[in-house]
Amino acid sequence: MPGDGRLAGKVAFVTGAARGQGRSHAVRLAAEGADIIAVDLCAQVPTADYPLAGEDDLAETARLVREQGREAVTAVADVRDLPALSAAVDDGVARLGRLDVIVANAGIASYAPGAELTELQWDEMIAINLSGVWRTIRAGIGHVRRGGEGGSVVITSSAAGLRGIPNNAHYAAAKHGVVGLMKVLALELGPENIRVNTIHPTTVNTPMVRNDSTMELFLPGRENPSEEDFARIARRLNVLPVPWVEPDAVSDLVVFLAADEGRNLTGTSIPVDAGMAARW
């Protein structure tokens, strides 16, 4: 039964939900009254040289959603696999009754100079971080449209979706690409009162960032760097005196865009970047 909160009676579909930003978004949406369809790959990707989430992580997300008094339907599915995504969403809607919000959040990171990227690095990045966003929306948007009450699509881009950042040409290409996708979908879906926006975080305190690969990028050749070493370098990216933002700061914006407060926002790219956009 619907409870209290800005999203009472709504259902949200979140990809990359097993941990990090995706888990934070799922739990915050639930805290505002939404039931959750939580999807994650729960497996390793060859070009992501840091540990990805597993099925235990996805189960923990579900537990945290239920702790908020909301329902959670989980599925292990790859955003590169449209039939699997569609089956996951169809099952979730069958069990929860509707779909109102899509949070296309799943993504990976890897690093190399653009001229030295392998084909596999390029292809996996584009398949997950760009094509996977389209597949996520494609799998869910029919349910939102059939509800007839409008809805919200929130796409996780990045500060790298607004500017160039060295050593991640493939990531920046994907994150810029979702901005173009967002703008077209905003035009196409707006007449049905379905809003589409991208969000653009700076460095976020999640396992995708807090790992040896990112540490090597920020502090090349440094043996046994400390967290403060990393924080000192990361802080230089931002205008506000912080090295990164916490996932819940990004979730604040996701909830805003999903809820009635964001009813007049569509086709926008919104930074959550501690001022990085002002500097660059």
Alpha helices in the chain (DSSP H): 20-31, 55-67, 82-96, 119-126, 132-147, 169-189, 212-218, 227-235, 247-258, 276-279
DSSP bridge pairs for 204: 245
Per-residue tokens: 226: 């400390």
Distance CA 143, CA 258 (A): 16
- Percentage helix, strand, coil, to 5, in the chain? 50, 15, 35
Residue 171 is among the residues annotated as catalytic for this protein: yes
DSSP class of residue 223 equals: S
Q: What is the four-CA torsion angle of 185, 188, 192, 198, rounded to 10 degrees?
A: 20
Of 50, 171, 218, 244, which residue is the catalytic one?
A: 171
Chain CA centroid to CA 137, Å: 12
- Helix, strand or coil, per DSSP, at residue 218: helix
Q: How far is CA 257 from CA 32, 129, 139, 153, 226, in A?
A: 13, 21, 20, 8, 36
Closest to 79 (Cα-Cα) out of 68, 67, 70, 88: 88
Nearby residues of 102 by Cβ (< 8 Å), 6 or more positions away: 12, 13, 136, 137, 140, 141, 144, 151, 152, 153, 154
Known catalytic residues are 171
